[in-house]
């Protein structure tokens, strides 16, 4: 590995053995009886390939975003790089000390105070006490946990825990900083400061590995990205190119799900297409979604369309319902329905739109019909009262139309 390379991964693989559920007794007495009855019986296992032939190099001072769907192998890769779990095959070389924050609950001893854990972490990273003392005040100020510094961390909330753990990992003088998506636990202000801190770390020549489903954060922080798909490297390069590949993959996956999903038996209408452009929200700028409804037979109407806007965690943020505008459909041929969304007051992040075609009940549903990003946050205040309808955390301003 050259001096300019901080991380070198070659042929990395990780295989887990998964015992069959029927082979595992649930109680001690069952285990003893099973062993006495079948003393020579062996437990059978399936093999799960979490990572397969993963190879890449990361130059020193690079901020690398690691993205992919749930189960793609992102966390497994980070655990191997931070020496938490060994690889089954291949090797990973890292030049320098590694500071990491992988999940809430790791890295700190729950019985020790926040102050004691700061020094413990620094010692485990090979730092002298004088080095830790020099950065101690910065760590405490960044975390905002000074009032509770002499309290055992087992009494911290998840947000306090993450703030202190990140502050330790980011401020102690390691050459490589590895952060999983635990930053979503913190509030918006802490997330902004954390991203800026990681950006500063990369500017100082430290190497940053960052896993997140929040693509706008990956874009803001990283210059390069690695896309994992079912344990293999699907794309690696400039962050915009890799994100484009990932978005195309997500869209294709949604279409495949739509085509293979069993239709609601009673449904004679189906949402067969959804189109939109990539979204970057600006103040007071409406965005248009277009959905095509197709009738398989002469339908009994009327019908209405309901759209749920979901955040990256699957929570329903807002609901848009054509009934609110008095718009119902009697489609006897393919029909395009438009949804104009104005000032949705969404935080930066990635969102999906689920489309429901309804009459009395749900006739058809398309999960994840559209995926879009919000890259600019709008300032707003929550005041007064408003009549609410349906699900969601914000009241969306929208119009439906037919063409």
pLDDT at residue 196, rounded to an integer: 85
Which domains are delineated in the chain?
5-19+43-248 (3.40.50.300), 264-402 (2.70.50.60)
Convert the pLDDT of each residue in 265-281 to its tens digit. 444 455 555 655 545 55
pLDDT at residue 70, rounded to an integer: 81
- Of 86 and 290, the one with more pLDDT: 86
Q: What are phi and psi of 297, to 5 degrees?
A: -155, 175
- Of 380 and 326, the one with more pLDDT: 326
Q: Report the range out of 18-27, 37-46, 70-79, 267-276 with the highest average pLDDT.
A: 70-79
Q: What share of the chain is helix, strand, coil (3-state, %, to 5)?
A: 30, 35, 35
pLDDT at residue 385, rounded to an integer: 44
The two beta strands, 232-238 and 224-229, are antiparallel
Tell me, what DSSP letter sits at residue 39? T
Convert the pLDDT of each residue in 232-250 to its tens digit. 999 999 998 998 888 777 6
Q: Which pLDDT band holds residue 170 (cuts at 50, 70, 90)? A: confident
Q: Which of 254, 349, 365, 386 is nearest to 307 (CA)?
A: 365
Query: What Å distances lie between residue 81 and 77, 97, 159, 347, CA to CA?
Result: 6, 11, 25, 32
Q: How far apart are CA 88 and CA 93, in angstroms?
A: 15
User: Is omega for the bond preceding 302 within 30 degrees of 0, making it cis?
Assistant: yes
């Amino acid at each position: 590995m050259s001096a300019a390379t901080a991380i070198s991964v070659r042929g990395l693989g990780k295989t887990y053995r998964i015992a069959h559920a029927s082979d595992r007794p649930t109680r001690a007495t069952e285990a003893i009886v099973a062993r006495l009855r079948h003393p020579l019986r062996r437990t059978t296992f399936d093999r799960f390939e979490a990572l397969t032939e993963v190879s890449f190099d990361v130059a020193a001072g690079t901020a690398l975003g690691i993205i992919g769907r749930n189960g793609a192998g992102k966390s497994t890769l980070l655990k191997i790089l931070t020496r938490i779990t060994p690889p089954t095959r291949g090797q990973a070389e890292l030049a320098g000390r590694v500071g990491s924050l992988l999940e809430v609950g790791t890295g700190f001893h729950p019985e020790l105070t926040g102050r004691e854990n700061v020094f413990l972490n620094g010692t485990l990273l090979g730092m002298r006490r004088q080095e830790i003392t020099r950065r101690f005040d910065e760590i405490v100020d960044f975390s905002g946990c000074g009032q509770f510094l002499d309290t055992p961390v087992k009494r911290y909330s998840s947000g306090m825990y993450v703030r202190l753990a990140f502050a330790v990992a980011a401020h102690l003088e390691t050459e490589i900083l590895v952060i999983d998506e635990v930053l979503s636990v913190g509030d918006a202000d802490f997330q902004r400061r954390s991203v800026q801190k990681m950006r500063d770390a990369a500017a100082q020549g430290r190497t940053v590995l960052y896993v997140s489903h929040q693509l706008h954060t990956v874009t803001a922080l990283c210059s390069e990205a690695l896309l994992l798909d079912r344990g293999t490297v699907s794309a690696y390069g400039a962050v915009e190119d890799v994100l484009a590949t990932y978005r195309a993959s997500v869209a294709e996956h949604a279409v495949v799900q739509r085509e293979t999903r069993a239709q609601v038996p009673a449904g004679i209408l189906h949402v067969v297409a959804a189109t939109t452009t990539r979204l970057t929200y600006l103040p007071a700028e409406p965005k248009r979604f277009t959905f095509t409804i197709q009738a398989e037979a002469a339908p009994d109407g009327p019908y209405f369309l309901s759209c749920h806007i979901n955040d990256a965690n699957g929570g329903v943020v807002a609901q848009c319902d054509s009934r609110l505008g008095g718009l119902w459909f009697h489609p006897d041929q393919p029909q395009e329905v438009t949804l104009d969304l104005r000032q949705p007051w969404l935080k930066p992040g990635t969102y999906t739109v689920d489309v429901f075609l309804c009459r009395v009940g749900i006739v058809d549903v398309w999960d994840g019909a559209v995926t879009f990003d919000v890259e600019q946050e709008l300032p707003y205040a929550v005041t007064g009262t408003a009549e609410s309808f349906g699900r969601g955390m914000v009241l969306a301003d929208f119009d439906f139309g037919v063409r």
